Amino acid sequence: MRTPLVAGNWKMNGSRASVKELINGVVAGAKSLSGVDIAVCPSTIHLADVTAIAAGSNVAVGSQDACTELKGAFTGETSIEMIKDMGCQYAIIGHSERRTLYGESDDIVAKKFAVVKAAGVTPIFCIGETLEEREANITEDVCARQIDAVFAAQGDDAFAGSVIAYEPVWAIGTGKTASPEQAQAVHAFIRQHIAKHNADIAENTQILYGGSMNPANAKDLMGQADIDGGLIGGASLKADDFLAVCQAGL
Ligand code: 13P
């Protein structure tokens, strides 16, 4: 059985004060939740505050990205070693906002995936189609292409110890959620695609749904056979809403 994972992607939001309040609220509410893995991914500049407060709790912390390189002259970047040293267990890689707004190709994302795994941090590898791609009926092709870049670089066991997040781009921040059936169909496809390389890894990999998931729709989405949790944007910025989504994963 796969334990569900609910991860909050706080994106570029919050002040030191508001972020401390948020993580304190999440840590306090999460104490009574067992049977669900919980993580939050604040902005890099807030990682020190958040990991200090989350230390010793059942709330893990992740970064929202990591550099392809480990150290050196890469102004503005943060290496996975720095992220790990800060106490992070996860790193989101290949979020659609990184892919579209910052030009991250499948190959760059695959390289990031490799450095994160090599550091012993769990990648939360994001994939998903745009609205145009869905309407052109190439959702599966797009997801397969994004996944195959990692297989090409890392071999058949690439996804061991990693998390995949299916985030249809048209559902992110739009209030338009994929229906549970639509999401389940893609999740099942993703699992089958990974199973072609390694059936055990496919069976054990948490595949999260992301895109306007909230307390109202979380249970139906996470009730699907291949949906093992969520990557939550907007609804993760309020402790009560985020905890309600975590609760729905139980
Ligand atoms: P929303 O939940 O705000 O749609 O964002 C989803 C997302 O991008 C999580 O990574």
Contacts of 111 (CB under 8 A, 6+ apart): 68, 153
| Structural domain range at position 74 | 5-248
pLDDT in tens, 9-42: 999 999 999 999 999 999 999 999 999 999 999 9
Q: What angle do CA 41, 46, 49 make, to 5 degrees?
A: 105
> Which residue's CA lies nearest to atom 1 of ligand 1?
233
> How many structural domains is the chain composed of?
1
**The residue count for the chain:** 250
The whole-number average pLDDT for the span 171-198 is: 96
pLDDT at residue 4, as a whole number: 98
Which of 95, 97, 129, 133 is flagged as catalytic?
95
Number of Cβ atoms within 10 Å of the Cβ of 137: 9
Question: Average pLDDT over the chain, rounded to whole?
Answer: 97
pLDDT in tens, 92-110: 999 999 999 999 999 999 9
95 is catalytic: yes
Ligand 1 near 230 CB (within 6 A): no
pLDDT band with cut points at 50, 70 and 90 for residue 1: confident
Ligand 1 near 93 CB (within 6 A): no
Whether the predicted pLDDT of 250 surpasses 90: no
pLDDT in tens, 141-155: 999 999 999 999 999
Whether the predicted pLDDT of 179 surpasses 90: yes
Domain CATH for 143: 3.20.20.70
Whether the predicted pLDDT of 249 surpasses 90: no
Ligand 1 near 40 CB (within 6 A): no
pTM of the model: 0.98
